Amino acid sequence: MFSKEESRLLRQEFWTSFGKSFPTKWLLYNTKTKGLSFKFHLDTKSALVALDLEDHLENRIKHWEKLCALKNILLSDYLPDAIYNETYYLENGKEISRIYLPLEHKVSIYNKNTWREVMEFFNKNMTLFEAFFEDYKDFIKD
């Protein structure tokens, strides 16, 4: 087991290494669409890339309906294994809507042997997620 400080340092090392290996300016929170953001997630068991809708319910529903209208395009042209989850609960209990793509292998932020696979997965799939958003952002935002 790792101490809190060791855990913090490993997490910092992973994200620093990822940034150096794939020096990309990711959209993440800078989508210019209230409540819509992209996320990278890596913990002790799994990794995923996600598009999260976290705004108030009315706005979330509006954007969710537009993303559902684009579902066939996202799945056929960008991320065929993406999962749509209208009601997704974060670890803190907050309800959001999420479209995500999990890495199908067991990985851990504490296992440096899995880092390269996670970084490549993040880079490839977030690039596709952001390309989808860039291509359809006008429709999603309206």
Spatial contact of 102 and 46, defined as CB atoms under 8 Å apart: yes
CB-CB neighbours of 82 under 10 Å: 20
Does the structure show a pLDDT above 80 at 1? no
Confidence of residue 2 (pLDDT cuts 50, 70, 90): confident
Confidence of residue 53 (pLDDT cuts 50, 70, 90): very high
**Using CA atoms, how far apart are residues 47 and 111, in angstroms rounded to an integer?**
12
> Could you read off the pLDDT of 88-111 as tens digits, one per residue?
999 899 999 999 999 999 999 999
* Global confidence as pTM: 0.92
**Using CA atoms, how far apart are residues 122 and 101, in angstroms rounded to an integer?**
10
CA 18 centroid distance within chain? 15
pLDDT score, position 142 = 75
> Could you read off the pLDDT of 17-52 as tens digits, one per residue?
999 999 999 999 999 999 999 999 999 999 999 999
**Listed residue (131, 134, 125) closest to 49, CA to CA:** 125
> Could you read off the pLDDT of 59-81 as tens digits, one per residue?
999 999 999 999 999 999 999 99
